Chain A
Amino acid sequence: MRALAIWLAALVPAAVLADPPLIHSERSLYRQVFVYGDYSTRCLCFTRECKIGRQSCIDLQQPNRLMFEYTQMMLGSLLLDPDPRSILIIGLGGGTLPRTLGKLLPDADIDVVEIDPAVVSVAAQYFNYQPGAHQHVYEEDGRAYVRRLLRTDKRYQLIMLDAYDNQYIPEHLLTQEFLTQVRSLLAPNGIVAANTFSSSRLYQNESVTYRAVFGVFYNLKSANRVILASNAPLPSLAQATRNAEHFDAAFTALGFKPMSILSLFSTAVDWDPKARVLTDQYSPANLLNSRD
């Protein structure tokens, strides 16, 4: 059946293949949400024809496979703490991260915060994201959620920040004050994983801001950039290597090798340490991201 589909696809003009058909679109409070896809993949986009960037994709033939390198890099956080019992994810997208973490760590409690109700319903309907018994989705602004939770006793062993995209950065989620609050919401020896920006002038400001809050962090760079930081001294690479061996089979089932992620871990300072720290008073992240 699959061979037939590939054979049929070969007959279709290339232009049609380049633009997978639109399956669904809905206007939300914040944006237009598009779902594009064909027989093999399905993607969530916030722009027509996915001109700027796909938010999330699944491989319909192998739904467990992680199609984006950045999600693999985010799982690099498990090389620093292989067994987080409580996880907070800010930004749902297609639900890839909570779905994958739910499978890898079936006993972990996972809270997801997503500002856009339309994204929550699209993740459920088109990306098969079903929060299990251990998962909760809160439709709320990430910063308001963190502030609210700080007044309780709840703390997380792993916090993932996945709320930024290339068209629009919620600027109040990229400031020294916010990251300090995130750090305070970590349990002892907690880990933060942030999907951030690899290019543009913002790289400098973002780096010094994380550095100001967390000190030394692991910087994972390829097309994307993921920052892995801790509220305790950073676990060593030797420790991460041991954990990588532990996850070898599990990550291979997701379509990548933990060692390929581990090879990206770097603590080198490759930014301007005198760049201006982003604060609640000074946070032109979108303007900085539009400059080279």
Chain B
Amino acid sequence: MYRASLYLIAGWSGFFVMGIELLGGRLLAPYFGSSIYVWGAIITVFMLALSLGYLAGGRASLAAPSLRRLALILLTAAAATVPVLLFGDTLLEWLSARTPDPRFGSLLAAALLFLLPTGVSGMVSPYAVRLLVADRASAGHHAGKLYFVSTFGSAAGTLATSFYLVLYLEVNQILLLMLAVSVAVAVAAWLIPSVPES
């Protein structure tokens, strides 16, 4: 249960990040278009956010790591997405009026909207690795499995969002649905008894 919940959190977090990234393109398009610059800006921000998140997640795992704290990271990432829902359009309207250049306008917009939620999501994987690894010999094995689950989740999130979810739901409905799943996964993980470390 304990192990499974770590993989579940990592896999869901991967799904969440790519779902948001694809929807990010949709959110920016009405203001900055969907030129290659806009996608370039979005991908840059997500990669940058994940890289910083990995760093922060690894650092956070040094001090009393636990499954409950990992669940809190997932919740924080979800909470950091709420402003996208509440103020996204207002911010994009304001920014696009001031920075008509599609490159820097979209870079700034993507950074303001997605740097935080994606960065916090990036903390999940290294933190989960710390909870999985019992000894040095099996560290690579566990890390490999975790990367697999996390990146597989990302692939699933990309496909599900772009092929199916956008056909049935509005962008904000998909975001709300993903937030609800994040909360559900975090609550489930919170209730699982922590395995005492040997």
The chain A residues found within 8 Å of chain B, CB to CB, are: 29-30, 115, 140-144, 147-148, 151, 170-172, 175, 177-178, 279-284, 287-288
Contacts and interface: CB of A to CB of B under 8 A. Distances in A.
Contact of A284 (B33, B34, B38, B166): B166
B178 to A, nearest CB: 15
Interface size of B as a range:
20 to 34
Contacts of B100: 144, 148
Given A147-B96, A148-B100, A172-B29, A279 B170 contact: yes
Interface string B153-179: 000000000010011011111000000
Nearest to A139: B35
B35 A141 contact: yes
A287 B167 CA distance: 7
Contact of A281 (B36, B97, B172): B172
Given A143-B29, A170-B34, A178-B30, 16 more contacts: A143-B30, A144-B32, A144-B33, A144-B35, A147-B30, A171-B34, A172-B26, A172-B33, A172-B34, A175-B30, A280-B29, A281-B171, A281-B173, A282-B171, A283-B166, A287-B167
B26 A283 contact: yes
Given A282-B170, A284-B167, A287-B167, A29 B36 contact: yes
B31 interface: yes
B102 interface: yes
Contact of A171 (B29, B38, B170): B29
**Which 5 pairs, one residue from A and one from B, show the smallest C-beta to C-beta distance?**
A141-B33, A281-B170, A172-B29, A144-B33, A284-B167
Interface string B112-141: 000000000000000000000000000000
Contacts of B102: 140-141, 144
A177 B29 CA distance: 12
B166 A280 contact: no
A279 B171 CA distance: 10
